[in-house]
Amino acid sequence: MSIGARIYRWFGRNMIRVYAVFAFTYLFIPVAYTFVFSFNDSGKSNLVWKGFTLGNWQNPCGAPEVCTALGNSIKIGLLATIFSTILGTMIAFAIGRHKFKGRSSSNLLIFLPMATPEIVLGASLLSLFLVFKINPGFWPTVIAHVVFCISFVVVTVKARIASLDPRLEQAAMDLYANEIETFRRVTLPLVAPGIAGAALLAFSLSFDDFIITNFNSGTLTTFPKFVYVSAARGIPAQANVIGSAMFFLALALVIVGQIVSRRRKVS
């Protein structure tokens, strides 16, 4: 067999692996850049590598307003996650488990915030707030994020509800459990992983959002807005520290979730 044929055969067998390597490399290059430049002894500008230092990690609040912006993003993200998860879960159960007039229309309307461009949604919400004479700020931003995140929660939880085996709930009722006990002891524990995943997704979307936040936050500075404003002069290394820390925290949560899921399946 010629060398060309061997190379062609090897690529035929390993094309998926080669594609996966290139895809993951492409995805993680920005993450690697952010992590490396979090150790840059940059001073005011973080565009050029000037030397290695641990000072940025030892003092992540060294850049002006970076921790204030981070705190605002975390507060907004947590509140948006709580409200959107509660409302989205109830909507998901209503659509997934009950038949009522307008169910199909409600199911369709849920997808509209997901399909609407963020700039349209952000401008529309700002116009609505101004009509009711509500100035942009913290709570309008929270409300805007709930509107944006709730669709993702509904879709995620509804998919989990659709995958449930109804025989488990029927078995609980056969053992004389009423509807409340069945929901608390059977349905809710089975849906809980989907609710947790939806909550994590909602927090990620809220924490990361810039366009809707920029329309409705007014003078309030969130972490994405801080990064955007700082980009012209070079994002401070402390922002890279926070970004890297958030990435590794999310990675740790995913790994822990996978480990817990596998242990449950084994047991």
Which of 37, 55, 73 finishes a domain? 55
Answer yes or no: is 186 within a domain.
yes
The verdict on 93 and 27 lying in the same domain is: no
The verdict on 46 and 158 lying in the same domain is: no
The verdict on 36 and 112 lying in the same domain is: no
The verdict on 188 and 205 lying in the same domain is: yes
Structural domain boundaries, residue 30: 3-55
Tally of domains in the chain: 2
The verdict on 98 and 132 lying in the same domain is: yes
The verdict on 86 and 187 lying in the same domain is: yes
Answer yes or no: is 250 within a domain.
no
Per DSSP, helices labelled H in the chain are 3-36, 55-58, 66-97, 103-110, 112-115, 118-131, 138-162, 166-174, 179-182, 188-208, 211-216, 223-230, 237-266
Q: Is 52 helix (H, G, I), strand (E, B) or coil?
A: strand
Q: At 40, give phi and psi (nearest 5°).
A: -80, 130
Q: How many CB atoms lie within 10 A of CB 168?
A: 12
In sequence order, what are the residues at sequence separation of 6 or more whose Cβ sits closer than 8 angstroms to the Cβ of residue 140? 125, 129, 134, 216, 217, 218
CA distances from 219 to 141, 214, 216, 222, 251 (A): 11, 9, 9, 10, 32
To 5 degrees, how large is the angle CA 102–CA 153–CA 137?
A: 105
The verdict on 50 and 148 lying in the same domain is: no
What is the residue-level pLDDT of the chain in tens, covering all 267 positions?
A: 567 677 777 777 778 888 888 998 998 898 898 899 889 887 767 777 888 888 889 888 888 888 999 999 999 999 999 999 999 999 999 888 888 887 788 888 888 888 888 999 999 999 999 999 999 999 999 999 999 999 999 999 998 888 888 888 888 887 777 888 888 888 888 898 899 989 999 999 999 999 999 999 989 999 999 988 887 767 888 889 998 998 898 888 888 878 877 777 766
Query: How much is the pTM?
Result: 0.86
DSSP summary character for residue 187: I
Supply 169's token pair: 């709930």
Supply 230's token pair: 């700082």
